[in-house]
Every structure is written in C-alpha cells, then in structure tokens.
Amino acid sequence: MTSTTPSLFETRPPSTLAESAFVSRYGWVYEHSPWVAHKLYERGITSALDTPTALADAMAAVVNGAVDDDKLSLLRAHPDLAGKLALADLTASSQSEQKGAGLDQCSPNELARFTELNDAYKQKFGFPFIFAVKGFDRADILAAFERRVKNDAEAEFNEAIGQVHRIAKLRLEDL
C-alpha cells in the first residue's frame, strides 16, 4: 500500500483561505505578479476554484481581462531563458523549471545563441522570450525561439501571454 501526500488543494482549498493567505500561497504563480491573485480574490473565491485547473482558468481570466500595460508588465517580470541565467533574478520556480529543461547545461555555442536570440527578441518585442519549458529540452526551446523571434508583435504578445498561462497552470498542478 502506497501513501500519498495530500496536495495543498486538498489540505487547504483556495476557497477556505483569507486574502493574505491566498495571495501568499498563489501570488507567485504568475512571475513577480501577485496582483493576479489579489484581483481574483476580489472577484470572489468559491469552492468551484478548489482544483488546479479551475484556479488556473480563473487566474488566466484575470490576466486576459487586464489592460495591455498590465499584461506587458507581467511579461517583463519574466527572466531571460538560458543566455543570462547566471545573472538573472530567478524565482525558485523559474530556476527549477529552467534547470529541468537543461538550460543550465548549455554548450558555449548554445549559450551564445540563446544570448543572441534573447537580445534580438527583447529589442524587437520589449519583453523577454517566454516559454513554458516543462517537458521540453534545450533543442526544442531553441527551435521555438528561432521560430518565434520572426513573429509580428501582436502574434508574439499573444503567444507570450499563452505561455505565461501554461507556466501558471503547470505550477498550480505541481502543488
């Protein structure tokens, strides 16, 4: 017989938390952007949000309903991938996610290419390249980077927001 540790959703469902506890527990899900959790709490947290998927969808709705300036700030709160990993102010989650994809083990050529693409991407779009790295390796991420740096501004803004939502959902599922 195996024993499993209950998830945070089982031991203290979101609907049972006071605002400060809710923001403390879920404010980090969107990188350096606790405003998402604050706004969701203001809208009301019911038992319908007591699953990772439902909470992820509700948090995504908050972001999707935000003005573009707030979305841009959210995108800019994310770290570079690989190129400046050692210098970036990474949250523990970002560090773990990037290490899981092997971005801390780039060859000198890969590191140079990531750095070059990071610089070109930020110059073109005004925010760092965002990619939900879980389940992907360096080659996959580099290929997506090469492809996405060619996008137009609107398409890439929308793609980056979608990636942020995927990151948030994965983080909630990991709880």
Catalytic residue among 32, 38, 78, 165: 78
Give catalytic status of residue 78 as yes or no: yes
Q: Distances from the Cα of 152 to the Cαs of 99, 141, 147, in angstroms?
A: 29, 19, 11
Is there a contact between 67 and 90 (Cβ–Cβ < 8 Å)?
no
DSSP codes of every residue in the chain: ----PPPHHHHS-GGGS-HHHHHHHHTTSSTT-THHHHHHHHH---GGG-SHHHHHHHHHHHHHTS-HHHHHHHHHTSPPSSTTTTTS---HHHHHHHHHTTGGG--HHHHHHHHHHHHHHHHHHSS------TT--HHHHHHHHHHHTTS-HHHHHHHHHHHHHHHHHHHHHH-
What residues act catalytically? Answer: 78
